[in-house]
Structure 1
Amino acid sequence: MTRSDPPEDADARRAVAPVICYPVDALPPPDMDFYERARADMELQQTQIVPPREAAAIRVPAGHVLRLKSVDGPQVGDLNLFADDDLSERFYSGKTRALHGTHLSTGDRMWSSFPHLRPMATVIHDTLDWYGIDTFGGSVHDVIGTRCDPYTGNLLSGTQYHHCCHSNLTRALAAETGLSLKDAEAHVHDVLNVFMCTGFTRDTGQYFMKASPVRPGDYLDLFAEIDLLAVLSACPGGDCSAEHSSDAAACYPLLMEVFRPASLAGWEPPAKNGYDGSHGVHVPSGEGGL
């Protein structure tokens, strides 16, 4: 493929400084002192093992802490979050990425879909926060990948693989809610790639993965800002050092734990987004909104 000839001022155009699309300075900062107090005195309420190449669901009441934990070996997970009473309010990976960046860690929030757009969960502790950004541009807990799925596998290699994260999440959500597989699949969405180490190549801009630095005992703590239904898949790629839809990779279970803090003094659940929903269309008084 040939490229167009660059203009004379190409270097100057490339040198234009970037502007952050969504500055978050106006957002209320998370009260990390409160979250640390909550973590310091909390009681285990329930546990759920996620088997290798499978997914499982757990319900997390507002004001509780969901811990996602590596237990036996290096393993990444794909996480979906839903409002417990409304599956249409679900984790919005793209908007979370636009607000907080390509990878999440302590102090970042997981935002819900339109029209709700409110914090669903706040990352309050991350034992992998030491990793930072490596020399390849890789980091941990990304919101840039979608989830491994059978459709892309079929497109690229003609396979019929059923234990990718999309299918795992679909089965687990159907089992938890009683929905059919078809109806459950419509709710499965782009994920938080827990423990996965990813980035974009500098030359081609392609999404890459590399061996996760996660160790047994590492965990990510999420504070539930609303009542949540969490569904987690233990990715068939294991630590994703080679491939992510395969029965060849070494895979390990993950653990979900729900803790109840002793005190929630000073905390209130977030309100739904305050936009009026009119989208610029005037509704005469007395005729109701859209």
Structure 2
Amino acid sequence: MGSPEAAYQSGEGSALSADTAFYDRLAEHVEDRELVERFVLPIRSGRAWEVPAGYLCRISTPEGPQVGDLNIWNRHNPRERLWAARTRQLQGAHVSRHDRLWSTLPYLRPLVTITGDSLDWYGTDEDGGRVHDLLGTRCDPYANRMLTGEDFDRHCHSNLTRAVLPFGLTEFDVHDVLNVFQCTGLNEQDQYFMKASPARPGDFFEFFAEQDLLCALSTCPGGDLSVPLWGPRARDPIDVCRPLGVEVHRPSPKLVEGWSTPPTAAYQGRHGLIDPG
């Protein structure tokens, strides 16, 4: 007996049908791109940066497995930001090459399209785990206090909060994340589980900015998640924490010729409150 079909299906030519040949050219022609920014995030820290529309951004694991919690906003309008739940429905609970990360209502358009994923070989493991997940969200000090009775200020929510302050955003702008390099799934009790990241030194996750973006990334205090954060076996996982690298590249104009930022959703927003006549 086969599995049920996906609920959200689109017609030919919709925004879900990415031009894979276009994105593959961007990924393949690395010689036709210019490095415009590069930095390394230390362990248990966060940083925000801009990615102009039409540029590429690569997140890497320079020293080995490390989970990163990623937030994305429209640079000019932070109300338009990553919508993890809708992306799960439109693309999948775990994302890879050619998938798109979608923005919130009333905009509902691609923020980014994934162009490269060196972990695409991982697939689904024996426990149902997969990488780059939208199933869970960032660790935070509020849940940690509830679970342990202790305060800790380097959870991903706090790292992201500190990271966006220079850009005029606050804790209220931090939202559900894409967990880059994280391996997760649902167990037989339909509960969320996390496994050790399979990333190796030099692995990467790369995306194309479909609009002007503000991105923020946290190097998770759980490191590669090989050590439990909560429960009877929990201990400080600082020994499995590693940095993450970020690069922003400008592709050659010839590679993006004919591309333009996707328009916002075509629905006119009446919601039955305005008589169209």
TM over 0.5: yes
Q: Secondary structure, in 3 states, of the residue corresponding to 2:206?
A: strand
1:220 to 194, 201, 205: 205
Q: Distance in 1 between matches of 2:85 and 2:18?
A: 20
Partner of 1:252: 242
Alignment counterpart, residue 34 of structure 1, candidates 16, 22, 45? 22
| Mapping 1:77-96, distance limit 5 Å | 77-96=68-87
Q: Distance in 1 between matches of 2:55 and 2:185?
A: 31
For 2:145 and 2:121, how far apart are their aligned partners in 1?
Answer: 37
Amino acid across the alignment from 1:33: A
Q: d(CA) in 2 for partners of 1:282 and 1:213? A: 52
State the Cα deviation string for residues 238-259 of structure 1 (Å, max 9, x = none). 1112234874332111011100
Percent identical among aligned pairs is 48
Q: Aligned pair 1:124/2:109, yes or no?
A: no
Contact 1:38 1:262 in 2 (8 A): no
Question: Counterpart in 1 of 2:196?
Answer: 211
The answer to whether the 8 Å contact 2:44/2:220 transfers is yes
Residue 195, structure 1, aligned to residue 159, structure 2: no
The equivalent residue for 2:263 is 271
Q: Which residue of 2 aligns with 1:237?
A: 222
Root-mean-square deviation (Å): 1.7
Equivalent residue pairs, number = 265
Q: Helix, strand or coil: the match of 1:256?
A: strand
Secondary structure in 2 aligned to 1:186? Answer: helix
Contact kept in structure 2, 1:236 and 1:244, CA below 8 Å: no
CA distances 1:245-279 after superposition (whole Å, capped 9, x unpaired): 87433211101110000021121110011111111
| 1:79-135 deviation digits (Å, cap 9, x = unpaired) | 000000111110000000011111000010000011111000000110000000111
| Runs of 5+ unmatched residues, structure 2 | none
Deviation of the 1:20 alpha carbon: 2.0
Task: Please name the residue that 1:54 is paired with.
Answer: 45
Q: Does 1:262 align with 2:252?
A: yes
CA distance in 2 between counterparts of 1:241 and 1:205 reads 21
Q: Given that residues 139 and 198 in structure 1 are in contact (C-alpha distance below 8 angstroms), is that contact kept between their aligned partners in structure 2?
A: yes
The CA distance in 1 between the partners of 2:70 and 2:136, in whole Å, is 12
1:151–1:58 CA distance, 2 compared to 1 (3 A) = same
Whole-angstrom CA distance in 2 between matches of 1:75 and 1:284: 52
Q: Which moved more, 1:74-83 or 1:47-56?
A: 47-56
Deviation at 1:33, TM superposition (A): 1.8
Specify the SS of the correspondent of 2:270.
Answer: coil
Matched position secondary structure for 1:110: strand
Write the deviation string for residues 129-171 of structure 1: whole angstroms up to 9, x where unpaired.
Answer: 0000111110000001111011111111111111010010001
Q: Distance in 1 between matches of 2:107 and 2:130?
A: 29
1:71 aligns with one of 43, 62, 69: 62
State TM-score, norm by structure 1.
0.87
- Structure 2 letter corresponding to 1:34: F
- The reply to whether residue 167 of structure 1 matches residue 147 of structure 2 is no
Given that 1:93 and 1:190 are in contact with CA atoms closer than 8 Å, whether structure 2 keeps it comes out as yes
**Whole-angstrom distance in 2 between the partners of 1:61 and 1:218:** 23
Which protein has the larger Cα radius of gyration, Structure 1 or Structure 2? 1
Q: Which amino acid aligns with 2:243?
A: P
TM-score scaled by length of structure 2: 0.91
Q: What SS class does the counterpart of residue 169 from structure 1 fall into?
A: helix
